[in-house]
Amino acid sequence: MTEMNKKMLDEAKRVREFAYAPYSNFAVGAAVLGGSGEVYGGCNVENASFSVTNCAECTAIYNAISAGEKELIALAVVAEGEAPVTPCGACRQILAEFHIQYILMANLAGDVKEMTLEELLPGAFSAENIN
């Protein structure tokens, strides 16, 4: 495992501890690598009105964008489970919007799966589909 992958997974595990998940009890942490080399974390934040719940992946991405990052390179996501956790469909589309090409998925036991955006979301909707 590369040092950067370890740094991203460590950050995802760290911020997972801050998750607000009183409804699902499924705490998730994520970290995104910006073009500057900085790593930005995010956790899931649930809401009684489930449709406004924010996933950890989106929180991390939005934190990076809010900090001024213009290029996002990779994302790591960590949760408890038997297998590495994968981003939901909506998060996959957000990954596509920001052209995040490399995704690390892990569980707390240390199992890790690596995928490209194309493997995770083939035929993603993009701005080219609008015109």
Which active-site residues does the annotation give?
A: 57
For the sheet with 39-43, list strands across it: 39-43, 28-34, 72-79, 102-107, 112-116
**Contacts of residue 130, Cβ cutoff 8 Å, sequence gap at least 6:** none
Q: Shortest CA distance to 78 belongs to which of 3, 2, 18?
A: 18
Cα separation, 131 vs 120, whole angstroms:
24
